[in-house]
Amino acid sequence: MKTVVIDRDLLELEIKPYAKLEEYRRLTEEDVRGRLLTAGEFTPCPCPGCRSTASRVVFEKSGMAYLECDHCRSVYVSPRPLEEALVDFYRNSRSARFWREQILPETKETRRAKVFRPRAQWVLNVLDRYRPGARLGIVVGYHNGLLVEELARQESHLFHMIVTNAIADIEFRGSELPNVTIRPTSASALPSLGPADIFLAFDIVDRCADVEALVAAAQATLAPGGLLLASTISISGFDLQVLWDRSESIYPPERLNLLSTEGLIALFERHGFETLEFSTPGVLDVEAVQRVIHKQPEAPWPRFIRYVVEKRDEDAMNGLQEYLQKYRLSSFARMVLRKPR
Amino acid sequence: MKTVIVGYGYMGQIRKQVVDTMPGLKLCGICDPFLVPGLIPVDTAHYQDYRDAIDDVRPDVVFVCTPNRYTPDVCIYALEQGCHVFCEKPPGRNLSDIQRIIEVEGKHPHLKLMFGFNHRHHPAIVEAKSFVDAGRLGRILWMRGVYGKSGGKDREFEGSWRNDLTISGGGILLDQGIHILDLFRFFCGEFHEVYGFLSTAYWNVSVEDNAFVILRNEQGQVAQLHSSATLWKHTFRLEIGLERGYLIVEGLLSKTGSYGREKLIIGRKPGDDEHGAVGNPREEIVYFDKDLSWDVQVQELVTCITHDLPVTDSSSLDALRVMEMVDAVYRQAKLRSAAASVPIRERRLP
């Protein structure tokens, strides 16, 4: 297994303008309480990482309970809304529209240059290394437009991609990319699109209602030796561990599953995947901790953490972030997994 | 396949671990004239003479892990007895040793012969090769390698067979530097010009403790090696300069971990729209935590034997070519020595 450290100059502000983000969070809270909580059925679930049922409530956000697994220490929402309610939320809620229409356009070029261009480079490097000659890719998860564009731009003979998320028709409206098919597809129907060489599941594990079904679908969709590339927010990361319930990154419904490193490994190994890479190349942990401690100085922060982020300079902050990446302790995790040949 | 290991020192014991876990191989005998009783594997026949081991066990595969002086004789005997051979590097003390081995190999074309250039299969090297072969960073412009160790405790290091010219045939260049020379070929192909300087700068030994080698091939790619037994901090560093970026392999997963955590640094030449990054590009560092190089190589040999495929990785041709480089450096050193090395300032006088 390998792990990757990335030296990247990205500030959270560049991809999440704070004023608009505050408004987005306010709308999300309203939508969750007014739309999701009243939408009907909620279902309890075991730990999405290790499937243990031994857990306890550790905090609550927007009326939903977050549980911590006693076994692998993943944190997850249970009971939780069904996938259909989430699709409705992402298609029709005011907060989702605000994200698509206000935040994404404003940050588009920064996201392209600093997030999606390097991610596309990484995808292509992974294919060069483990699956040269890939012909078919399946893309699940939301907001992958820039990634798909960058892949097409960087590789003229790109493999065919099928973008499957439930709102792909909205996200890709008006865009015509060669070798890209838009086909919203439920997880259970994904295998009918295969066999695929690569399955891209970016920023979806943390927000999908049924992780087990998603990973099982990836397994069934991939050809033998095919690759699953996934990214997610992980509770093992520095900012989430320090900030915990005060973290601004933890809110429903986008963060239903905050798997620990151990939970993520258990999840993918349970479905027979071999882990080729497990990295936490996040760049925003220290900045997030710094910002929240500054906003809530009265909270009982660990003395050492408070001292470091208040008294040390940018170089020390960068060094700390690099350390977190090197030892897989950032909260942004990415993985390369291979289905057995 | 019945397997015998000849030479049961440091490398022989590593090979035993590989053989023990490799499907298709069964260790049936070990041979070493100086076997340490506590180290002899239970239920495995042991011998002091390699000919007795091979004649008695009649193995399918022989691993040759002996000091350099004995390597060609053991390889040749094993081939002549119809055995496939895995031979540690270097393939003998000098060019004529590998030429002798190849001559006998040629008489037994159905047998497989592989040499232990395992660094090709270290994870960071494999990853770097993938980047180079994919071509996204352009073609290789140059390579530079540093591989060195601190020697060890004075008496232990100076008394090692590796530093006895009559047994080893050469010093640090033949012992460690040969890996980097092999990697230069692995990435750039054949080199036709070889220049080198040797020095015995510190240790009281009959071989070189430092070697500086510079090579150029017909594509104009230049490679430079510093191989040293006086690097007090153990070092492995291989740099590859390409048209649109660079790759640096640093550290090496090893039994002791003394070369540091193995990593690959990937740097991309900044684009025209990234003015601030000129001279200080963003880098990615890939850390590796598992070295499968020993297993991968032996698995490859087993596959070649099982499916009667030609050995294309770490073959006798690879061994020959790299020994030609080493030989060129040693011959130059001898010529310079014969010319009684005149200081540069003195030579410039009219």
A36-70 pLDDT, tens digit each: 898 778 999 999 999 999 999 999 999 999 999 99
More confident: A23 or A176: A23
What residue of A is the nearest CA neighbor of B276? A9
Per the CB < 8 Å rule, is B282 touching A326?
no
pLDDT digits (tens, 9 = 90+) for A155-201: 767 789 999 988 888 888 888 888 889 998 988 999 999 899 999 99
Percentage of chain B beyond pLDDT 70 is: 94
Chain A contact probe: residue of B286, B289, B290 with most A CBs at under 10 A: B286
Question: Is B174:B314 a contact under the CB 8 Å cutoff?
Answer: no
Chain B contact probe: residue of A1, A121, A125 with most B CBs at under 10 A: A125
Q: d(Cα B336, Cα B164) in Å, to the nearest integer? A: 21
Is the pLDDT at B277 greater than 70? The verdict is no
The shortest CB-CB distance from A5 to any of B131, B284, B290 is to B284
Q: Please give the model's pTM, rounded to 2 decimal places.
A: 0.89
Tokens representing B325? Answer: 């480089």
Chain A contact probe: residue of B129, B285, B291, B292 with most A CBs at under 10 A: B285
The shortest CB-CB distance from A128 to any of B130, B282, B288 is to B130
Contact residues on chain A for B136, CB-CB shorter than 8 A: 124-125, 128
Is the pLDDT at B219 greater than 90? The verdict is yes
Looking at residue B279, what is its pLDDT?
79
Q: d(Cα A242, Cα A330) in Å, to the nearest integer? A: 11
Q: d(Cα B154, Cα B54) in Å, to the nearest integer? A: 37
ipTM reported for the complex, 2 dp: 0.85
| Helices B293-306 & B10-21 angle (0-180, nearest 10) | 60
Exposed/middle/buried for A56, CB within 10 Å: 0-12, 13-18, 19+? Answer: exposed
The shortest CB-CB distance from B285 to any of A4, A9, A128 is to A4
Is the pLDDT at B228 greater than 90? The verdict is yes
pLDDT digits (tens, 9 = 90+) for B58-99: 999 999 999 999 999 999 999 999 999 999 999 999 999 999
Task: Please give the interface size between A and B, counted as residue pairs whose CB atoms are below 8 Å apart.
Answer: 46
Q: Does A1 touch chain B (CB under 8 A)?
A: yes
For CA atoms A94, A95, A100, A101, the dihedral sign is positive
- The angle formed by the CA atoms of residues B217, A129 and A322, to the nearest 5 degrees, is 100
Question: Is B159:B264 a contact under the CB 8 Å cutoff?
Answer: no
pLDDT band at B347 (very low <50, low <70, confident <90, very high): very low
Pairing state between β B2-6 and B61-64: parallel
